[in-house]
């Protein structure tokens, strides 16, 4: 098979590219490089610069490289930003996906892995979030991911495309320093950035109904997430063609919760930056007390279990941060 990975030069995308090429899969990357970095890619992987909104480029790429499967990661992903720029998010995440699926259907590509998000659930009031937990997104980013899932499944049924929608929980860490998250919007690099400025890690709210009063989240190592993509791609490849297009929706998490205060403590311990102590700010609107995945479906159907713990996420992310900010 030959896989097109959109957004393959990004933080998550590059990990998926390395994992799939290391496993012997043939990979082509499409990335507009708005946030992606070509130097993240393995030697020899073809890289096409462009957007999923460019239909002629998609048609040419799918044909030239004889693509038989797509892993779609290219998207805008900042929840807060999506509130102030909803049309931009819908254009990139929903319209872009529509253009891509039209090209995929016409090229008769038969396998499609979609990068979704736990943001589709919104603020669920449950101990463990299963794939059957009602989806009630609280921002346009989550809305675009849920609409994307609907579109992927509907197109798959009509055009005989086997599909997998992977709902990521909180992604962190790095497989190697040069692949680390280059931004500071996610919580761990945001802590690092404040520490480098001599400021305390910032915790939003410490009066939630959780053991230490801070929000509890399910953090999954990006290398484990990449393994999940490989497992999903191979699950689609091995699905019985006589049974019609396969369809999967699965949470990708650890099933274990870590509080924001616990995470700040790990950051202090593993970076050696024990002072200043964490600073507490008021709650942010829409932050649920606890969001932790049920990971049973991915384990049962894909044979996937996250192996790396929070300490490994923080230490590997710190190595990547120092690599980029030494």
The rounded distance, in Å, linking the Cα atoms of 63 and 76 is 26
Domain boundaries, the chain: 2-171+219-252, 174-217+255-293+307-325
For residue 282, CA distances in Å to 5, 74, 251, 261, 307 come to: 39, 33, 30, 14, 34
Q: Which CATH superfamily is domain 2-171+219-252 in?
A: NAD(P)-binding Rossmann-like Domain (3.40.50.720)
Q: Burial letters for 162-194: b for 16+ Cβ neighbours within 10 Å, e otherwise?
A: bbbbbbbbbbbbbbeeebbbbebebbbbebbbb
Which helix (H) or strand (E) segment is 57 a member of? helix 55-64
pLDDT in tens, 81-135: 999 999 999 999 999 999 999 999 999 999 999 999 999 999 998 999 999 999 9
| Catalytic (active site) residue 141 | yes
pLDDT of residue 275: 60
Catalytic residue, from 11, 89, 141, 208: name it: 141
Chosen CATH of 174-217+255-293+307-325 out of 3.40.50.620, 3.90.25.10, 1.10.357.10, 3.40.50.300: 3.90.25.10
The rounded distance, in Å, linking the Cα atoms of 8 and 16 is 7
Provide the 3-class DSSP secondary structure of residue 269: helix
pLDDT in tens, 22-69: 999 999 999 999 999 999 999 999 999 999 999 999 999 999 999 999
Largest CA distance in the chain: 61
Report the predicted TM-score, pTM, of the whole model to 2 decimal places: 0.95
What does 160-186 look like in DSSP terms, one character per residue? T-EEEEEEE-EEE--SSGGGS--SS-S
* Count of H-run helices and E-run strands, the chain: 11, 14
pLDDT in tens, 265-322: 999 999 987 666 788 999 987 788 999 999 999 999 999 999 999 999 999 999 999 9
Angle between helices 11-22 and 222-238 (to 10 degrees): 50
């Amino acid at each position: 098979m030959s896989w097109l990975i959109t957004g393959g030069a990004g933080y998550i995308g590059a990990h998926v590219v390395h994992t799939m090429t290391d496993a012997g899969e043939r990979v082509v990357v499409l990335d507009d490089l708005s946030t992606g970095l070509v130097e993240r890619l393995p030697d020899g992987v073809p890289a096409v610069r462009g957007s999923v909104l460019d239909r002629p480029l998609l048609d040419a790429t799918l044909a030239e490289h004889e693509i038989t499967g797509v892993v779609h990661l290219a998207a805008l992903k900042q929840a807060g930003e999506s509130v102030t720029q909803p049309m931009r998010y819908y254009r990139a995440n929903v319209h872009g996906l529509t253009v891509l699926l039209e090209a995929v259907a016409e090229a008769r590509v038969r396998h499609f892995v979609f990068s979704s998000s736990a943001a589709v659930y919104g603020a669920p009031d449950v101990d463990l979030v299963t794939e059957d937990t009602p989806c009630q997104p609280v921002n346009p980013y989550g809305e675009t991911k849920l609409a994307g899932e609907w579109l992927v499944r509907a197109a798959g049924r009509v055009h005989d495309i086997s599909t997998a929608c992977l709902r990521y929980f909180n992604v962190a860490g790095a497989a190697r320093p040069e692949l680390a998250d280059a931004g500071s919007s996610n919580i761990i690099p945001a802590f690092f950035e404040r520490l480098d400025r001599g400021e305390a890690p910032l915790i939003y709210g410490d009066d939630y109904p959780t053991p230490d009063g801070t929000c509890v989240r399910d953090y999954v190592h990006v290398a484990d997430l990449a393994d999940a993509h490989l497992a999903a791609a191979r699950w689609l490849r091995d699905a019985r063609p006589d049974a019609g297009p396969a369809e999967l929706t699965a949470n990708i998490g650890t099933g274990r919760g870590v509080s924001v205060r616990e995470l700040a403590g790990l950051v202090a311990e593993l970076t050696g930056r024990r002072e200043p102590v964490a600073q507490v700010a008021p709650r942010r609107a829409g932050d649920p007390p606890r969001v932790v995945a049920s990971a049973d479906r991915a384990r049962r159907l894909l044979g996937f279990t996250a192996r790396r713990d929070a300490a490994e996420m923080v230490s590997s992310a710190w190595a990547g941060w120092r690599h980029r900010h030494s």
